[in-house]
Amino acid sequence: MRSSYLAFLVLALWISAIPSRAQEAPYFVTYDHQLEEPRNLEIETQITTGIPRSGQNTFFSPYMELEYGTTAWWTTEFYLEGQGTSGDSGLFTGWRLENRFRPLAREHWINPVLYFEYENINEASRILKEIVGNSPELNEPNDELREHHAHELEAKLILSSTVHDWNISENFIVEKNLSESEGFEFGYALGVSRPLSRIASSKSCRFCRENFVAGFEMYGGLGSTLGVGLHDTTHYLAPVISWQVSDNSSIRFSAGAGLTDTSNPVILRVGYSYEIRGFGNKVARLLGGK
C-alpha cells in the first residue's frame, strides 16, 4: 500500500503542469474558515504514520476524502479510512460524513465556522483527524478492535483570523460516542501559518516561494465530562508545510512530536489533493442532456 501511495504522488507531480494561482492551507487537524468553492469537488488522499512508544507497533493509516462546495456557505465531505499495523493486519476502519457552515459571508476580524460530523468507525481507527478525551490504549490487536464499532457525533467551533499575511485558527471540539457511556469528550486544535512570499514571481515556476505555505499546529485532548483536564491526555506539536504544485493540486507534509508520555513520539502525515472546478455544473449538464 505504501509503495502504491508514493507512486501516486509521483504521478501527480508529473501530470500537474499548470502554474500556481491558489494556495492550500497546510493544516492536517486544524480547520480555518476557508470553504470549498461552490460546485467544486476536491479529491484528497492522506496518510498518517505513527512511530510508537517502546513495545508497540508502527501503524499506517490512509484515508480518502471527497470535499464538495454545496453553496458559498456550506461545504460537505465524505471520508473512507483504513489502518495497517506492523506485525498485525490491515483493515477498513469506517467512514465519516462532515458538514461545515460559515454563517458570515464577508471576511471579518474573526471568522466563525460551525462543524458537524457523523462517524461510523471501529476502534482500530488511527487517522487521528482529531484528538479528544483521554489517551487511547494502543496495545490491543486489530482483530479485537474491529469488533468494537462506534457511532459518534462531533461538533467544532472554528475561529479563524487573517492578520496581515498570517492565518491564526482555533478549533474547540466536542464529541459524543453514541455506542458507549463515555460522556462528552473535549479537544482542541490551534494553527498558525503564512505564505513564504506574497509577491508573485515574474516567471512561471513550481518552486517559487509564493507556492509554499508553512506554519505549525498543536492539538490534543482535554478529557471528558467524566473528568475534565489534562491528566492522561495526548498532545502533539507539528510543523506543517503545503506546496501548491499546480493551479488545482497541492501536497502537504507534517512531522508531529508527542508532548506527553501517552502520545506517540512521532506522527508523520502526508497528503495530496486535486480539485475539479465546476464539477457540479458538469454533472448538471450531463444529467440534463446538454
CATH number at residue 172: 2.40.160.40
- What total number of domains does the chain contain? 1
Q: Is pLDDT above 90 for 231?
A: no
Average pLDDT over residues 136-155: 89
Q: How many CA atoms lie within 13 A of 67 on its CB side?
A: 18
Provide, for the chain, the percentages of residues in helix, strand and coil under a 3-state DSSP scheme, each rounded to the nearest 5. Answer: 10, 50, 40
Average pLDDT over residues 227-256: 94
Average pLDDT over residues 124-151: 90
Separation of alpha carbons 133 and 185, rounded Å: 5
Separation of alpha carbons 59 and 83, rounded Å: 7
Average pLDDT over residues 81-103: 96
Grid look-up 468553492 returns 37
**Residue 210 in contact with residue 223, Cβ under 8 Å?**
no
- When pLDDT is cut at 50, 70 and 90, the band that residue 228 belongs to is confident
Query: Nearest Cα to 256, choosing from 24, 27, 44, 2?
Result: 27
Q: What local confidence, expressed as pLDDT, does residue 54 receive? A: 73
* 142 φ/ψ angles, rounded to the nearest 5 degrees: -60, -35
Q: What local confidence, expressed as pLDDT, does residue 289 receive? A: 60
- Contacts of 107 by beta carbon, 8 Å cutoff, 6+ apart: 162
Q: Is pLDDT above 90 for 290?
A: no
Q: What local confidence, expressed as pLDDT, does residue 202 receive? A: 66
**Residue 186 in contact with residue 221, Cβ under 8 Å?**
yes
Collapse the DSSP code of 205 into the 3-class scheme (helix H, G, I; strand E, B; otherwise coil) and give the result: coil
Collapse the DSSP code of 267 into the 3-class scheme (helix H, G, I; strand E, B; otherwise coil) and give the result: strand
**Residue 241 in contact with residue 212, Cβ under 8 Å?**
yes
**Residue 220 in contact with residue 187, Cβ under 8 Å?**
yes
Separation of alpha carbons 93 and 41, rounded Å: 24
Domain boundaries, position 58: 2-287
Q: What local confidence, expressed as pLDDT, does residue 79 receive? A: 98
Q: Is pLDDT above 60 for 69?
A: yes
Average pLDDT over residues 74-84: 97
- When pLDDT is cut at 50, 70 and 90, the band that residue 5 belongs to is very low
Q: What local confidence, expressed as pLDDT, does residue 200 receive? A: 72
Partners of 228 in beta bridges:
223
> What are the tens digits of pLDDT across the range 7-48?
434 443 333 333 333 467 899 999 999 999 999 999 999 999
